[in-house]
Amino acid sequence: MVNLGNKGGLQKWSQRLVAAMFLSGQVFLHLLQGKIHRRNTIEQMTIVGPKSAIIALLTSTFVGMVFTIQVAKEFINVGAGSFVGGVLGIALTRELSPVLTAVVVAGRVGSAFAAEIGTMRVTEQIDALYMLKTDPIDYLVIPRVLACCVMLPILTLMSLITGTLGGLVIADNLYKISPYSFIYSIQTLVQPWDIISTVIKAVVFGGVIAVIGCNWGLTTTGGAKGVGQSTTAAVVTSLIGIFALTSFYLGFSFKGQVQLILNKNKTGSIVFF
C-alpha cells in the first residue's frame, strides 16, 4: 500500500514507480515489433469497454446534471442563461469527462489488472509463462495497455454525450432554457481542439492506468496480503498519475489559446472572447 508516512514504504513505492516507467518503455518497443496477442487484446477490450460503460455513463450523467444545477441559476441571474450549455460543454470536454471516466476505469479495471496479475505472480504462474517461453509483457501487459488506450477514449466521448444530455434535461425542465439555445451555445463555445485534446488525454490516461496496474501486479510479493496491498496501491498511484497529468496539461496546453472571459456590459449580458 502507498504509505508516504513510512520511509520504507515510500522507497518501495518509488522503486515500483521507476519499474513502471521501464515497463512503459518495454511495451513501446514490443509494440514497434508488432508483438500483439490479438485474442487477449479483444478479451481485455471487452472488459475495459462494455463492462465499464454503465457506471461511467451514469457517473457522467449525474455530473452533468449537478454541474448545470450549480451554474444555471447564477448565469440566469446575470442574464447569461443561454450560455449554460456552452460552459457545461467546455467543462466536460476539457476536464470532467476524461478525468472522471479515467477515475472510474482506474477503480474498476486498474485494480482488476493488479489483482489478477498479482495473483499470477504469487502463485508462480508468471514463472510458468517464462518456462513456456512466453513473454508476460506480450501475453499479459500489451493486451491490457491496448485495451485501455483504445476503449477509454470511446468511453470518454460517450460520457461527454451523456453528461451533456443530463445537463440539457435539467436546463430544460428546471430552468426553462430551450434545448436549441443550450445546444447552440455548445456549438459556439466548444472548439474542435477541445474534442481532440479530450481524446488525447483519454489515450494517455488509459496507458497510465494499464501500465501501473500491470506493473504493480508483476512486482507483487507476500502472498494474498501482498495482492491486496498491490491492488490498493495500483489504484492510488493511478489516481495520483491522472491528477498530476491533468495539472501538467492545464499548466502548459492552454497557454496562449482561446480563453473564456466573462465581462458584464452595460446591458447586463455576458461577453465571451
Per residue in 153-203, pLDDT tens?
Answer: 999 999 999 999 999 999 999 998 999 999 999 999 999 989 999 999 999
Length of the chain: 273
Tens-digit pLDDT profile for residues 56-89: 999 999 999 999 998 988 888 888 888 999 999 9
The predicted pLDDT at position 268 comes to 43
In the Cβ-directed half-sphere of 28, how many Cα atoms lie within 13 Å? 8
Let me know: does 221 contact 238? Beta carbons within 8 Å: no
What is the tens place of the pLDDT at every residue in 241-270?
999 998 887 766 554 444 443 443 344 444
Sign of CA pseudo-dihedral 194, 197, 198, 199: positive
User: Euclidean distance between the first and final Cα of the chain, in Å?
Assistant: 47
251 burial type by CB count under 10 A (0-12 exposed, 13-18 middle, 19+ buried): exposed
Residue with cell 450549455: 85
Residue type, 217: G
Place of cell 513502471: 20
With beta carbons less than 8 A apart as the criterion, state whether 204 and 196 touch.
no
**Residue 226, Cα to own-chain centre: how many angstroms?**
26
Residue 204 neighbours by CB under 8 Å, 6+ apart: 245
pLDDT in tens, 17-50: 999 999 999 999 999 888 788 899 999 999 999 9
CA 260 → CA 48, 50, 78, distances in Å?
Answer: 35, 35, 16
C-alpha cell at 105: 476505469
Q: Where are the beta strands (DSSP E) in 79-177?
A: none
Q: Letter for the amino acid at 68? A: T
Distance CA 63, CA 159 (A): 10
**Angle, to 10 degrees, between the axis of helix 223-253 and the axis of helix 7-32?**
70
Report pTM: 0.87
185, 83 Cβ separation under 8 angstroms = yes
The torsion region of residue 261 among left (phi > 0), alpha (psi -120 to 50) and beta comes to beta
